[in-house]
Amino acid sequence: SMRSSKIAVVLLLAVLLLSGCSGTQNSGTQDYESDLKDGEYTVYSKYYDPWGYGLTFTMKVVSGIVTSVHMTEANTSGADRLTLSDADKTWDDGDQKLSAVLGGFYDTLIHRQSADIDAVSGATTTSDSFKLLAEAAFDNAKTGKTSDVINDFEWTYTVTNDVDAVSGSQETLSITFTGDKMTAVECSEVVNSTALYATGRIYAGFAETTMQSQTLTAITSIQDPSEAERYNAMLDQISQLRQQYK
């Protein structure tokens, strides 16, 4: 009922004030002030991230208070990452599961009423992405903009070619995007697990061409057509990863 809803909001405000979430060290007797407009705010990532997930962040504001928050990572088939069999495993360099990491972010955001969450060691990319989305949602909640697409992420997409059966060579291409701009393009080559520096300059030249063009368009090389073909195969793989989400 309307009366019970008002009581719930009053209780929530009291808890926030007593726990210090009002952002002040003064007595909790003062009124809680908020510049957030009531509503549900959804923010999307413009692209799929380097692991193939598009990000959706939803935040609900009631009586100026953030009451719920949720982030979904969906693959190109639309499946939520947390429903996949390997989604909840620990990271190689961390000891927390994805569900626990996200749950901690939700609790912190609601407790602090702020996008200023603490990064989790071993899950820094997830931490950074969550914070960027949350900041955008808070900004939108101040103006009442209920839906938005953001592109402030710094993401590095990395792919590796299969070993060439004839030469034994294998190449790795990494491209970093800051928003829509390519800020780093690196391509290395090894032959039979040994790094090639002289031959690798061919791929360094290809990488420089991509950086200058600021596109994932295939390159041409009359001098090194087979190497260009292998390089272009990696460009295509990154293009597939770097699909637009929203």
Q: What is the pLDDT of residues 105-154, one digit of tens each?
A: 999 999 999 999 998 877 888 999 999 999 999 999 999 999 999 999 99
Residue 60 predicted with pLDDT over 80: yes
Residue 8 predicted with pLDDT over 50: no
Residue 190: closest CA among 203, 178, 179, 181: 203
Residue 47 predicted with pLDDT over 50: yes
Place of tokens 């808070």: 138
Is pTM beyond 0.85 here?
no
Residue 25 predicted with pLDDT over 70: no
Question: In the predicted model, what is the mean pLDDT of the chain?
Answer: 84
Q: Are 116 and 135 in contact (CB under 8 A)?
A: no
Residue 17 predicted with pLDDT over 50: no
Q: Which two tokens stand for residue 243?
A: 């699909």
Determine the Cα–Cα distance for residues 120 and 215; give it in Å rounded to an integer: 33
Tell me what the mean pLDDT of segment 217-241 comes to: 94
Q: Are 50 and 156 in contact (CB under 8 A)?
A: yes
Residue 14 predicted with pLDDT over 90: no
The bridge status of strand 147-150 relative to strand 39-45 is: parallel
- pLDDT for 20 equals 41
Determine the Cα–Cα distance for residues 213 and 75; give it in Å rounded to an integer: 29
Determine the Cα–Cα distance for residues 6 and 85; give it in Å rounded to an integer: 42
The helix (run of H) or strand (run of E) holding residue 12 is helix 2-18
Q: Are 134 and 41 in contact (CB under 8 A)?
A: no
* Between residues 124 and 47, the one the model is more confident about: 47
* Between residues 194 and 242, the one the model is more confident about: 242
Residue 205 predicted with pLDDT over 80: yes
Residue 59: closest CA among 172, 144, 122: 144
- pLDDT for 198 equals 57
- pLDDT for 197 equals 60
- pLDDT for 121 equals 79
Tell me what the mean pLDDT of segment 17-43 comes to: 61
Q: Which of 30-63 are b and which e, b meaning 16 or more Cβ less than 10 Å from the residue's Cβ? A: eebebebeeeebbbbbbbbbbeebbbbbbbbbbb
